[in-house]
Structure 1
């Protein structure tokens, strides 16, 4: 059921042709857009998805999660549970603190966590091994600089905000937000990753659908009011979306306009919730507009450039560069001849890889079966790839560390390229796509893998363990 009202562009002062050009420009960009929604005056004037993506599916949001965590902290402050100036160490037990608490650690406050000015010289998230005590590890790290002295993007800081909230309320972050934010906004599909120590990870790992993101964006634009009720104090959103600290050390023009409480300031007096690979909730207050994208982009600045070059003029009532909009918005499977059949041998891989691939079997009919490690490391699940249109399947988390938190819905296809079986797999509740080129020679399978986006390497090569190859009976 739709939670936002729909309107024609003309009724909200926009040109339908201009919005078509905006869609055309996004489609023509190097960045892969998966879903899109634009609101004007609280009305949805544009909603699109590129097949096989669907706007109703949950989508992994990466650091957009941080803005939801910030909202939870604002609600907790309003409830009198904590303050911005409370020391971080005050929330934790003596056995979680280092033997010697440095002056800089002692000086670190909730405000410093929110503004990414903890005093660390780099993001702490890689140091917080996700199968150990992340809170204790964070508190034990050197705080090289005085808190408040410099902006350094730090997902570990957001994890600590979630841990603090859980200590204060006895509830995980998702459970705390459910009655206070998600249920009033009609967000029923939300899932959020939890660490091995039982804390909602906070800085990443939230999945909701496109309309839910748009509802959150509209709540931000309305300073916390939803259907006449003040869900979040207006003062919190005003402070959170304002420039709290400078961040000129960031490279992209929309990323060095200042940072708030887990929100980025942008050009044109905008602010946004921002997740890796182009997950955006962009608020344009001067034009009463919200822009939401989910995408797979290695250059997310490009998406914002298209917004400023093609949508902003439309909001301003100016002429917009004409870009043809395709008749169908889709991300089709690779085209090419059907792959040749194999002999049904299962080739196994013990070497760890970015895709979590454990085994490959190619049958005589040209169907490939790919086994991936389950997220808990206890077993595998299979995905089948064959020539033709996308084949829809379901699977638990996939892509190993690269795609932790991936969703259930997967589409696959395969083609033959120079004698290789080339499988393409899209985890469509995420940005992730894997291309696996498989070639068997002399009893060994070699797989050349490519990921479209990743926090680590995007390419890898695997050779099967010959001694473990087994023919299917």
Structure 2
């Protein structure tokens, strides 16, 4: 991107009161914007971007055969499902949790079977497992932090470590992530669907790990094939985004209709992203060798969160093309 285009983007970020925006392309940090300088060193809640971090941890654990293959029924970890009235619950697999297709009747942001209701109970896992099924497992994506909490619980039991301890050893320390904060449920299991706080630059490192297909400075933290599986568009989703869903990653594309390359006109440029409530993003665009991080905190002031990447950065990329 040209400096003039970046200056225009910085102006827009300032007008929108965006908290931070980092852009790295081909290994070069081309934009590091903070609304105030101290934001660079502040831990901030990444909300549901936590889900993609959990996906990385489960991926690492599967690569190391700590967590069994994704086709394994979760009955192995939750034997209480043997006594459930609905036998279909015994067909739910680890991958169904990763793709949010377990089939539980769930409305994430409100109602009796929602994440706010779950978080008020004394046993989140029991609350999730007791929900009735509205769909056959594996058939429909229904966004659910309940699925994420089941995954976090599986990781804790399989590894014999707290989720954050496993994260420190297998992910944070290798990436040089030295400070974080992570909430827990009443059982002391770290929250799988939200509750992690990171610095913007550490979010960028996490995105870079995925851009490099799990390789960090010559060390393969996640197998490349596992990264490809995790970021594959498995099921269409409508809420909270109209996109596709992978293993706790969102996937989408934008149209390159610049026409500069006759053979490539109207090419769909695929990308995938971690998404957190209120405008938290970690976006990975493999064909542009790009990672974009956005954090926002002004969403409560009667303002709809803005998709900075789609609305402001993609047009600049297409101009660049």
Category of TM-score, reference length = shorter chain = 0.7 to 0.9
Q: Which runs of 5+ in 2 are unaligned?
A: 109-113, 255-269
1:372-429 deviation per Cα after TM superposition (whole angstroms, max 9, x unaligned) = xxxxxxxxxxxxxxxxxxxxxxxxxxxxxxxxxxxxxxxxxxxxxxxxxxxxxxxxxx
SS at match of 1:36: strand
Q: Which structure shows the higher helix fraction? A: 2
* Distance in 1 (alpha carbons) for counterparts of 2:247 and 2:305: 21
> What corresponds to 1:456 in structure 2?
none
Q: How does 1:123-134 map to 2 (within 5 A)?
A: 123=108, 124-134=114-124
CA spacing shift, 1:236–1:130, aligned 2, 3 Å: farther
Give yes or no for the alignment of 1:102 onto 2:86.
yes
SS at match of 1:246: strand
SS at match of 1:54: helix
Q: 1:100 offset after TM fit, Å?
A: 2.7
Q: How does 1:259-338 map to 2 (within 5 A)?
A: 259-268=245-254, 269-296=270-297, 297=299, 298-313=303-318, 317-318=320-321
* Distance in 1 (alpha carbons) for counterparts of 2:140 and 2:52: 20
1:417-451 deviation per Cα after TM superposition (whole angstroms, max 9, x unaligned) = xxxxxxxxxxxxxxxxxxxxxxxxxxxxxxxxxxx
> What corresponds to 2:258 in structure 1?
none
> What corresponds to 1:154 in structure 2?
144
Q: 1:270 offset after TM fit, Å?
A: 1.0
Q: How does 1:392-403 map to 2 (within 5 A)?
A: none
TM-score for the superposition, normalised by structure 1: 0.60
CA spacing shift, 1:159–1:311, aligned 2, 3 Å: farther
* Distance in 1 (alpha carbons) for counterparts of 2:75 and 2:117: 19
> What corresponds to 2:154 in structure 1?
164
Q: 1:80 aligns with which of 65, 73, 87?
A: 65
Q: 2:7 aligns with which of 10, 20, 37?
A: 20
Pair member with larger Rg: 1
* Distance in 2 (alpha carbons) for counterparts of 1:98 and 1:23: 56
Kept in 2: contact 1:130–1:196 (CA 8 A): no
* Distance in 2 (alpha carbons) for counterparts of 1:116 and 1:58: 28
Q: 1:182 offset after TM fit, Å?
A: 0.4
SS at match of 2:137: coil
Kept in 1: contact 2:24–2:290 (CA 8 A): yes
> What corresponds to 1:89 in structure 2?
75
Q: 1:231 offset after TM fit, Å?
A: 1.1
Once the two structures are overlaid, the 10-residue window that deviates more, 125-134 or 194-203, is: 125-134
Give yes or no for the alignment of 1:192 onto 2:192.
no
Runs of 4+ in 1 over 6 A off after TM superposition: none
* Distance in 1 (alpha carbons) for counterparts of 2:37 and 2:31: 18
1:299-344 deviation per Cα after TM superposition (whole angstroms, max 9, x unaligned) = 3344233334543235xx25xxxxxxxxxxxxxxxxxxxxxxxxxx
CA spacing shift, 1:17–1:129, aligned 2, 3 Å: closer
Q: RMSD of aligned C-alpha atoms?
A: 1.8
* Distance in 1 (alpha carbons) for counterparts of 2:96 and 2:50: 18
Q: 1:120 offset after TM fit, Å?
A: 1.9
User: Aligned pairs, how many?
Assistant: 295
Q: Which runs of 5+ in 1 are unaligned?
A: 1-13, 319-473
CA spacing shift, 1:101–1:86, aligned 2, 3 Å: farther
Q: 1:167 offset after TM fit, Å?
A: 0.9
Q: Which structure shows the higher strand fraction? A: 1
SS at match of 2:5: helix
Kept in 1: contact 2:103–2:135 (CA 8 A): yes
